[in-house]
Amino acid sequence: GAVVSQHPSWVICKSGTSVKIECRSLDFQATTMFWYRQFPKQSLMLMATSNEGSKATYEQGVEKDKFLINHASLTLSTLTVTSAHPEDSSFYICSARAPGTSGGASGTQYFGPGTRLLVL
Amino acid sequence: KQEVTQIPAALSVPEGENLVLNCSFTDSAIYNLQWFRQDPGKGLTSLLLIQSSQREQTSGRLNASLDKSSGRSTLYIAASQPGDSATYLCAVLHTGGFKTIFGAGTRLFVKA
């Protein structure tokens, strides 16, 4: 099946620094990528939808200036957590949607392995 | 607003049992429904994808059904094994905004 990679897999940083997480679709082009956040023992919370070449669409309550998303190409999206604080510590998972059989938006969604962020 | 509910929240069964995980969603306007597996501290592995026009999908010991009109899906696991222990997540691709909405998951533990 299709593969989505994330880098780094884990990161520890000091409060106030910025952290960039990369998400790549390795064997397909993804016009749409998604960023999720998951707290321990909770489900995934959609943060934003990223479309190649356009601004990301953020979910209600997600600070766009805090979580900068760039979808530079059909295979790469980045999430930058700016001025990270301990409350930003979480498991961040990206996802890329493969084109549906009819070219629409109903294709399978593939998930990256996640990035665990710990802000001290 | 689409909401996805999974029951039970946790389940412990002895090895070899057949089991059913339940997922319900409030809005039938979906493109598809997907079942995922998540191991502790890991990302998601897609298990089965059912398009809105389909009734079920099968892969090995797994069978997922979809009843869109009633807003329900079940994941059937046959002859469970300790390696099946994980959290199982149900997610629907909602037609409103093409967003995937996740349930809270069912934590499964299969005892050897």
Parallel/antiparallel/unpaired status of strands A4-7 and B19-25? unpaired
> For chains A and B, what is the number of CB pairs under 8 angstroms?
55
Interchain pair B51, A106: CB under 8 A? yes
The pLDDT tens digits for B43-95 are 888 899 999 999 999 999 999 999 999 999 999 999 999 999 999 999 998 88
Q: Using a CB-CB distance cutoff of 8 angstroms, which residues of chain A are in contact with residue B59?
A: none
Those residues of chain A that have pLDDT short of 50 are 103
Q: How many CB atoms lie within 10 A of CB A82?
A: 15
pLDDT in the model for residue A27:
86
Residues of A (56-95) whose Cβ lies below 8 Å from B: 57, 91, 93, 95
* Token digits of residue A57: 């669409």
pLDDT in the model for residue A103:
46
Of A63, A66, A59, A77, whose CA–CA distance to A6 is shortest? Answer: A77
Distance from CA of B8 to the nearest CA of A (A): 14
Q: How many CB atoms lie within 10 A of CB B19?
A: 16
Residues of B (25-84) whose Cβ lies below 8 Å from A: 31-32, 34, 36, 41-46, 49, 51-52
